[in-house]
Structure 1
């Protein structure tokens, strides 16, 4: 396999982010709360706002984007916590270390941005994702929430839950943000 590189996108890379985001939504429609058809209609201004809102990291192979992850603070949570979200890798490269490289870069980014914890929401019925996050060092918590439906609502009552998994960035590997305790 050719080397995989991971880089952070800048504001000028909004089209790169748009293209990989739409590819992820089209290829894995059940993995995301959003739908490709909805986001395809977004104007440039909205894509520019989205790329500025969080750090967007892409994995590249031979100058082709093959994966993406986002990392950043979500407004309602503990100021010490950064969230990892929107992880996606092209199907033919899954299981080959690309997701690991993206998560590693996201954790490094959160650390350099002076966060104390990285939070990663994983579907409770997604054994592969739970195992992957656990192997990286994320620990499950008792915190659960209903998964969003395609409209972004969490109240559809379909019974699917996500659990918060936490990765401490400090010296105490047993530390947990107060909101997760």
Structure 2
């Protein structure tokens, strides 16, 4: 993989997902609803199960996934939602985030979702700018961060052409 390659993962790729996911949680714990401590305790079977294609998209970027990751799921009765997005510090500003977002949007469009939603930590302006570049817009909805009620997350949405 090069720094711009993105690869969709399946259950057999659990080690690659685990390694980059734990790196993301270690680097930016405030950006995630989970924790390094929690996910470090997952078993091999937990990781494999998480990569079941029926549970959504998991993709990595760069050599061995070292550049970043994205996860998308489909909550019941809702459209696709990006729940995990991270680019390693040394890869930021090199288009990796753009490629990951494009992959998530393509995945959602392939499944004819009407829109893609996500939550961004309120003060994470670089992430919000990345999402806006791809057409996401603030919805005005906010919620407390799952691990820190003193921090707000804001919802963003990208409308897709569901009729095509």
Aligned residue in 2 for 1:110: 108
Paired residues of 2:143 and 2:152 also in contact (CA < 8 A)? yes
The structure richer in helix per residue is: 2
Where in structure 1 do 4 or more consecutive aligned residues deviate above 2 Å? none
When the two chains are superposed, the root-mean-square deviation of aligned CA atoms in Å is: 1.8
Match of 2:92 in 1: 94
Partner of 1:165: 156
Deviations 1:118-158 (A, max 9, x none): 00111122222222211211011021111110xxxxxx532
Q: Which stretches in structure 2 are left out of the alignment for 5+ residues? A: none
Shift of 1:93: 0.8
Tell me the CA shift for residue 57 of structure 1: 0.8
Please list, as runs of the form range in 1=range in 2, the aligned pairs for 1:1-181 lying within 5 A after superposition. Answer: 3-52=3-52, 53-61=55-63, 63=64, 65-75=66-76, 77-78=77-78, 81-149=79-147, 157-158=149-150, 160-170=151-161
Distance in 2 (CA, whole Å) between partners of 1:93 and 1:157 is 30
- How far the C-alpha of 1:171 sits from its partner, in A, is 7.0
Contact 2:74 2:80 (C-alpha < 8 Å) held by counterparts: yes
What is aligned with 1:176? none
Whether the 8 Å contact between 1:123 and 1:163 is mirrored in structure 2 is: yes
Query: What is the deviation of 1:112?
Result: 0.5
For 1:114 and 1:86, the matched residues in 2 are separated by: 21
> Contact 2:57 / 2:71 at 8 angstroms: preserved in 1?
yes
| In 2, Cα distance between equivalents of 1:3 and 1:39 | 26
TM-score normalised by L of structure 1: 0.81
Supply the distance in 1 between the matched residues of 2:114 and 2:125 (Cα, whole angstroms): 26
Q: Secondary structure at the match of 2:24?
A: helix
**TM score, norm. by length of structure 2:** 0.89
- Mapped to 2, the partners of 1:97 and 1:67 lie a distance apart of 11
